[in-house]
Amino acid sequence: MKENVSLKDIARICNVSISTVSKAMNDRNDISADKKEEIQRVARELNYVPNYMASTLKSKRSKNIGVLLSEKTGTGLMHEHFARILNSFKETVEERGYTITFLNISNSPNRLSFMEQCKYMNFDGVFVLCADYSAPEIKELFASDLPIVVVDHEIPKHVNVASNHYGDMNRLMQFVYDRGHRRIAYIHGGMSEVTQGRMEAYKVFMREHQLPIYKEYIYTCPYRDYERGSALTKAVLALPNRPTCILYPDDLVAVGGLNTMQEAGMNIPKDMSIAGYDGINFVNIVRPRITTIRQDTVSMGIQAGNKLINRIEFPEEKYKPETVVVDGMIEPGESVAVIGSRNN
């Protein structure tokens, strides 16, 4: 078995030109099926590995995409929502011949800026899952001509792949409303584009259905802040005019609320109904199973991967801002009761 097998070696064995071997290895249709099968068989038998450096020099692309995942809470890939999007994105770009590399987000004084890292690594494009969008180095990155796709954040000339936060929240509100609830509290996440869409949907729904929006029913809780969510749940439960249902910013905070109520001896959903957001697998473990919105992370990753590669491979097209909205779906769970008018 020969090491460092080249196209020339395969061409000699198969008695064809190097260009014919190249066409066969790239699955071109302008050679016969029999010859293509023979060439690919010989390549497998010789353990042929394409020369990555030669192919990237020829195409002037590194076939490498930078991934930026930087959030203040530090949960990173521990956040199932981001992990699922990234996994779908990774599978999509790998199918099209690309690899991914994480950008360095450490606090080291020797760390290169994001833009410097992109130049050093010769990234073809960047996928931004989560970041501090007010940071100067993020603004520098977004101002560049590098193809960029972002999740849940609109930026000039680049692509934003977003969950349908307004539409999904509206569907959740309709689900709760159809089960008889009229006094609905909302513990929402910290202010962001995500929260703004959901908050607007909540208020519009309440107004359109002529339901009062009590200020004591609305609280702010950082996303995934279990302890803060538990404390705010206690504040809602202490109200003299309790709501019949509490909506939470995400499933983890909803679990915190559920545990707080159960520790107080309450029965969910008999004494209080609750709903979360995201659709993480954890909600299938707790009992009662929490009603939630499952965001379509698979579709988000696929859209992000294909949109980014299309911009990489067709650079002649002028960049325009684009937002791709992906619908989620309600997972009914067991935590929202059907109630009568006497409770409203």
Task: Tell whether 174 and 313 lie within a shared domain.
Answer: no
Extended beta strands in the chain, E state:
64-69, 99-102, 125-130, 148-151, 159-163, 184-188, 218-220, 245-247, 273-275, 292-294, 322-326, 329-331
Are 118 and 224 part of one and the same domain?
no
User: How do residues 125-152 score in pLDDT, each as one tens digit?
Assistant: 999 998 888 899 999 999 998 999 999 9
Asked if residue 302 and residue 287 are part of one domain, the reply reads no
Give the pLDDT of residue 284: 80
User: 132 in a domain, yes or no?
Assistant: yes
Kindly state whether residues 156 and 177 are assigned to the same domain: no
For residue 57, is it within any domain?
no
| Phi, psi values for residue 214, rounded to 5° | -80, 130
Secondary structure (DSSP) of 145-178:
SS-EEEES---TTSEEEEE-HHHHHHHHHHHHHH
**256 within some domain:** yes
Residue 227 in domain: yes
Residues 14 and 134 in one domain: no
* Same-domain status, 21 and 150: no
**Residue 72 confidence (pLDDT) above 70:** no
Residue 256's pLDDT is what? 94
Query: Does position 167 have pLDDT exceeding 90, yes or no?
Result: yes
Find the CATH number of the domain harbouring 77: 3.40.50.2300
| Same-domain status, 280 and 174 | yes
Q: Which pTM does this prediction carry?
A: 0.79
Residues 200 and 264 in one domain: yes
Query: Range of 270's domain?
Result: 165-294+330-343
Quick check: is 287 in a domain? yes
Query: pLDDT of 229-284, one tens digit each?
Result: 999 999 999 999 999 999 999 999 999 999 999 999 999 999 999 999 998 888 88
Residue 246 · residue 183 · CB < 8 Å: no
- Identify residue 39 by its one-letter amino acid code: I
If we measure between CA atoms, which residue out of 79, 134, 72 comes closest to residue 105? 72
Highest-pLDDT range among 15-19, 163-167, 191-195, 318-322:
163-167
Whether 70 maps to a domain, the answer reads: yes
Do 131 and 216 lie in a common domain?
no
Name, in order, each residue with C-beta under 8 angstroms of 44's C-beta and a sequence gap of 6 or more.
none
Q: Are residues 201 and 336 in the same domain?
A: yes
Give 2's pLDDT tier (boundaries 50, 70, 90).
very low
Report the distance separating Cα 332 and Cα 336, nearest Å. 8
3-state SS, residue 15: coil
DSSP bridge pairs for 13: none
30 contacts 37 by C-beta, under 8 angstroms: no
Inside any domain, residue 1: no
Both 176 and 275 in one domain: the answer is yes
Residue type, 194: V
pLDDT(8) > 50: yes
Joined tokens for residue 303: 């859209």
Quick one: 92 and 136 in the same domain? Answer: yes
Report yes or no on 96 lying in a domain. Answer: yes
159-163 and 148-151: which strand pairing?
Answer: parallel
CB 67 within 8 A of CB 99: no
Beta strands in 54-182 (DSSP E): 64-69, 99-102, 125-130, 148-151, 159-163
Number of domains in the chain: 3
